Structure formats: C-alpha cells, structure tokens
Structure 1
Amino acid sequence: MAAPLHPDCLTLLEMIRASGRQPLEAMETGPARAQYAAGRLVLQPPPPDVAETRDLRLPSGIAMRLYRPQGSRAEEVLPCLVFAHGGGWVFGDLATHDHLARSLCNASGCAVLAVDYRLAPEHPFPAAIDDYAEAIAHAAAHASGLGIDPTRLAVGGDSAGGNLAAVAALMARDGRLPALRLQLLLYPVTDMAQGHDSHARFTSGLPLTAAGMRWFRDRYAPEPASWADWRASPLRAAELSGTAPAFVLTVGHDPLCDEGCDYARRLEREGVPVSHLHVAGLLHGALTMCAVIRPALDLIAMAGLALRRGLA
C-alpha cells in the first residue's frame, strides 16, 4: 500500500478538482499544452535571481538558455548541467521550467544549459534525443565561449527530461557524446512498455495517471516497435555499466515510480555509483509545483547538492 499523500499534494488535488480540469486523455494536444503552460503561474513561485541568463541557439536552430548562479564571477569557468525539461515530450519549454533551472543553478553553484528540444507529435521519437545530444556536444565544443568546463559536464532532467538524460548518459558511455560526470534523473521515464506495477496502481485521481502516460507515448513514440529501442527505453539497454554516476529521484504516487526504482537498482547492480532518493508521499511533477507542494523545494536543494558534489 502506498504511503499517504503529503497534505500539500491533497491541496493540489483539491485545486485541480475545483478548476474542472479535464484529464489528458480527454484532450487534444493544443488545449492540453495551453493548460499545462497556464499552470505555471499558479503552481510555481517567482523565479529566483541568478547572476546571468543568456539566450542561445544551436546551429540547427534549437533554442537554449544558459544560467550562471548567484555569486559566480563573470570570468569564472563553471561546471555545467545540460538540462532537459519534462512534459511528456509533448509539453514544456524554457519558460515552464525556468524556476527549476534557476533553482538547480543556484543550489549547485553550476551553470545550467536548458534545451528547448522539439516536441511531439509534430516531431516524434527520436527528435527530442537528437536535439538534446546536439546540445551536449555543442556545450563541450564551445565551452570556452560559454564559460564552462568541458571536463565537468552533467546531464539531467525531470520526467521525459530524465528519460533523455539517461539516454544521453548511455550515449556518452559509448563515445557518441562527451564524457559526463553525473546523470541527474528526476522521476524519469525509463520503459516505454509501461508494464510495471505502478502503472496499474495509479489509474485515476492524480495529475499524471497511467492513461496520461499512454497519451504522451501515443504522441512521442506511436510505433510499438520503437518501445524496445534503448533510446526510448533506457531500461532496455543491454548494459548500463560504465555510465556516469547517478542521482535518481522517485516519488511514491507516480505511475513511473517502479520503473524509476528498477533503473536505480539496475545501475547499482551493474557497478554505477547511485544515490537513490525515494519520497513516498509526493506525486509526479512536484518539482514544478513547489508553490503548492512546498517539500519539493527541499528536493530541488538536494538535487543541487548532488550536482555540486558530482561536479566538484
């Protein structure tokens, strides 16, 4: 039996009920995106100040935003997290995850390079991982102009972004991307088959349910043949050994809970140093709802500390 939801999560669920919000599976992509973007104004605190932000573009045209933490000097060469936002590969952009990116930047003392990768269904798998990989390679190749240290790079993200980060860590292990010092996986998607028990446990009453995850998968990876591809399902990679040390966050009220826990256990079994934090009473998406779910601020601080230590 799952642990009880934290009172702040119960407040969030009551807010959702009062708003009359439709479940994802009842919505078309455009209105669902607009609903997600509008939620930021209610669910997130004002963004914290950082020392600098810089809007950039990859040669392909993909937008990025570079953050430098409070207290850093303009000439200081910093370690860097290349960050992929969540949103089921369908939602999200630099604005929806600005608070999280800034908070991780300040908590870690590292630069954060956030990537506005292409979204599905207009750009299905593997477009998102292709864009994210391009950003990581660009960060290493142009490190001096960005004020970052190419030998101290991390990848990370929440939910779908955690999926992209796990895939990127495998690519770096295989020499397809620059070497990494850490992978920061925040309630990640690791298996497109969606066969873990937590998908059967959480079918209603939460912001993300099993049906909602199927809605996202139908847009990002509509071909079942792609679900076994490790670039979509890193849990299905033949080997995880040799990837960068990992910080993995899972939460108890989440259809992704069991696959995230399985990924952390498998990393550890295969010799990868892992810090796995499981928070039983929280729900999926808490890190971008911390104006309501206040314990999420502590989780962001803990993730920032993991980055600080991993990139020291």
Structure 2
Amino acid sequence: MPLDPKAQGLLDMVYRVGAPRFHDLNEDQARRSFEKLAFALRPDAPAVASVTDVPVPRADGSVLMARLYRPLRAASADILPLLVYCHGGGWCIGDIESYDVFCRQLANGAGVAVLSVDYRLAPEHPFPAGFLDADLAVDWAIEHADLLGIDPARVAMGGDSAGGNLSLAVAIARRERHASPPLRQLALIYPCTQIESDRPGRATYGDGYFLDRESLRWFFSRYLPAGTASDWRASPMCAESLADLPPMVMVTAECDPLTDDCKAFAARVRAEGGAVVEREFAGMVHGFAILGGYFPQANQAVDVIGAALAEGLGVR
C-alpha cells in the first residue's frame, strides 16, 4: 500500500522546505528539532487526575527522573496497575516533556498509572546507560509500590522505537534473573529489535520515509560503542531465547524500515511459545503514534494499546 495521504503530505512538506534530517544535525540541534515536531503535531493535552515528578535514586548518588500520571477517573485512594514507559528517539533524543501528552493519553486510555522514564541519553551516556535506567525504574517502582499507589503484581512496560527496545531488553533481563513479581505485559510501538539487519524493509523504506538509513546510522553510532550491536540488551533479537516473556501488544507502521524486524521478532516469540498481538497501521511512517494532532491513526494506536493494557492488567 502507498503512503497514507497525510503521511505523504507531511513528508512532502519536510523535504520541500529542505528541513535538515537528524544525521545532518548535532545532538542538541536534533533534540530541539524533535521537540518542535512533537509539540507542533501532538493533540491537546487531556486532563488526568494527577501528575507527579518522581526522583529515582541511582546507586552512585545521582537521580533518574520520572513522571507519574494517574488517569482521570482514578480516585486518590485507588491502587492502580502501572505502565512503566520509555520514550522513543534513538536513545539520543526525546524526553518526558515531549511525551507528556502521549503518556496522558495512555493513562486515560488504559485506566492505569503511567511512569514516564527520563533515561540517560547518548552520546553523553552510551549503551548500556539507557538500559540500566529502564531496568532500575521497574525495580524501584515495584519496590515502592505503596508510595506510587500502584499494585506491584500488575506492572507492564512499554515504549516506542528505542523505548520499545529498552522495554524488551528489560523484560529479557528480568526473566534471566527470575525477578519477581514478573511483568504482566509489554506494550511496544515499532520497537527496534535488532541493530544490524538486512531484512528488506531496511532498503525499501530506507530513504524518503522519515526515518532514513543515514539517521539510523546516526543513532546507532552514538548509542553503541564498537562491537556491542549483537548484545541482546541492544538487540533483543540476538537473545538466545525469547521464551517466557510477558504477553505483548505490538503496533507497527507499514512504511517503516524497522517493521520487518518487528514482524520477525514477533514470529520468533510465537514460535518459542509466547503471545503477541500485532496491529500494523497501513501507510504510516515511523514516529506517527505521538503525532495525534495530525494523524488520526495515532489516536487509534493509543486505543489499541489502551485496550490491550486494560485487558492484560485487569482494569475493570
């Protein structure tokens, strides 16, 4: 299927005005460019019951910041399921503020609390810093469930793009160390499942579809020191086993260089006994899900994720 007309219109505008692509920018410029796009095309911020900034202490004395959203219909005394959410941005860009509206949508759509994690970014903090922060956030949230007003037995993890990658890596790490209680579900939006890939989508959608091959290299080179692309914490597809992972809901975009990798990952999870519900959005490009002020499909993706989380986490 060709690009959706609105996706084509956005790309035509971007390329017509000669907007620089991520690989043409330094890190600060790329972060500002991403923030401008997210702020310009996101929907209006929905009301939620509460928003609280949460400092999570690291062992070295520094602090990982996170933000807790409680859904609009939740009473202050309600003990809620929790989604720990890691934003996208190639491990190099993106932040809590850029994802504020999206996390509000998820909280209300699923009826769960959402803890948005401001993990460290590359190249200042290359792999495995982001992974370590995401892993810490889940452990800390479960340990401090009373403080957050959440049920430690009903915790899910999710993220888009790089955030989906971190979510998968944390799920595998928790399985490896037999962490308890286990994560109940994974909510993944076009996750990066494998750094080095020769699947057809990388070439088919590698130029002119927003996330181009040069930008992928730009992100990968900043996140990963040499020789780490096959580490399963960076490339979950490289894990020896994908068995015994939480049930997954996975949203993908048809015109995305990562979609073939996502499909291959989902197929392998099923082959090893796991459960994956997939929803591909026809004609969409990578990154569409947070741009609900422009793409109606973005709000549909929130509905898909919200319904799956509500079912998987037992929201009544």
> Which interval holds the TM-score relative to the shorter structure?
over 0.9
Whole-angstrom CA distance in 1 between matches of 2:292 and 2:209:
16
CA contact (8 A) 1:12 1:293 kept: no
CA contact (8 A) 2:82 2:155 kept: yes
Which residue of the other structure, out of 64, 83, 106, is the alignment partner of 1:81? 83
Equivalent residue number for residue 188 of structure 1 = 191
Indicate whether 1:238 and 2:240 are aligned. yes
Root mean square deviation of aligned Cα: 1.1
Runs of 5+ consecutive residues of structure 1 not aligned to the other structure:
none
Aligned residues: 309
Whole-angstrom CA distance in 2 between matches of 1:309 and 1:75:
22
Please list the CA deviations of residues 259-283 of structure 1 after superposition, one character each: whole Å capped at 9, or x if unmatched: 1111111111111111011223111
* Mean CA deviation greater in 81-90 or 32-41: 32-41
Whole-angstrom CA distance in 2 between matches of 1:12 and 1:115:
29
Equivalent residue number for residue 7 of structure 2 = 9
Runs of 4+ in 1 over 4 A off after TM superposition: none
- Partner amino acid for 2:41? L
Q: What percentage of residue pairs aligned between the two structures are identical?
A: 39
Equivalent residue number for residue 35 of structure 1 = 33
Equivalent residue number for residue 216 of structure 2 = 213
Question: Matched residue of 2:169: which SS?
Answer: helix
CA contact (8 A) 1:43 1:291 kept: yes
How far apart are 1:40 and its partner, in Å? 2.0
Equivalent residue number for residue 171 of structure 1 = 173
CA contact (8 A) 1:81 1:111 kept: yes
Equivalent residue number for residue 160 of structure 1 = 162
Equivalent residue number for residue 253 of structure 2 = 251
Equivalent residue number for residue 207 of structure 2 = 204
CA contact (8 A) 2:281 2:297 kept: no
Whole-angstrom CA distance in 1 between matches of 2:64 and 2:199:
34
How far apart are 1:39 and its partner, in Å? 1.4
Whole-angstrom CA distance in 2 between matches of 1:176 and 1:19:
52
Question: Matched residue of 2:250: which SS?
Answer: strand
- Partner amino acid for 1:169? A
Equivalent residue number for residue 51 of structure 1 = 49
CA contact (8 A) 1:136 1:177 kept: no
- Partner amino acid for 2:43? P
How far apart are 1:200 and its partner, in Å? 1.1
Please list the CA deviations of residues 68-94 of structure 1 after superposition, one character each: whole Å capped at 9, or x if unmatched: 001101000000000000000000110
- Partner amino acid for 2:24? A
- Length-normalised TM-score, structure 2: 0.95
CA contact (8 A) 2:39 2:98 kept: no
Whole-angstrom CA distance in 2 between matches of 1:250 and 1:210:
18
Equivalent residue number for residue 274 of structure 2 = 272
CA contact (8 A) 1:63 1:115 kept: yes
Please list the CA deviations of residues 94-126 of structure 1 after superposition, one character each: whole Å capped at 9, or x if unmatched: 011111111111000000001000000000000
How far apart are 1:288 and its partner, in Å? 1.5
Question: Matched residue of 1:118: which SS?
Answer: coil
Equivalent residue number for residue 21 of structure 2 = 23
How far apart are 1:20 and its partner, in Å? 2.5
Counterparts in 2 of 1:201 and 1:81: CA distance versus 1, 3 Å: same
CA contact (8 A) 1:12 1:292 kept: no
How far apart are 1:41 and its partner, in Å? 2.3
- Partner amino acid for 2:190? Y
Matches within 5 A, 1:132-147: 132-147=134-149
Question: Matched residue of 1:241: which SS?
Answer: coil
How far apart are 1:235 and its partner, in Å? 0.5
Equivalent residue number for residue 287 of structure 2 = 285
- Length-normalised TM-score, structure 1: 0.96
Whole-angstrom CA distance in 1 between matches of 2:250 and 2:44:
26
How far apart are 1:18 and its partner, in Å? 4.2
Whole-angstrom CA distance in 2 between matches of 1:19 and 1:113:
37
How far apart are 1:215 and its partner, in Å? 0.8
How far apart are 1:176 and its partner, in Å? 5.6
- Partner amino acid for 1:198? G
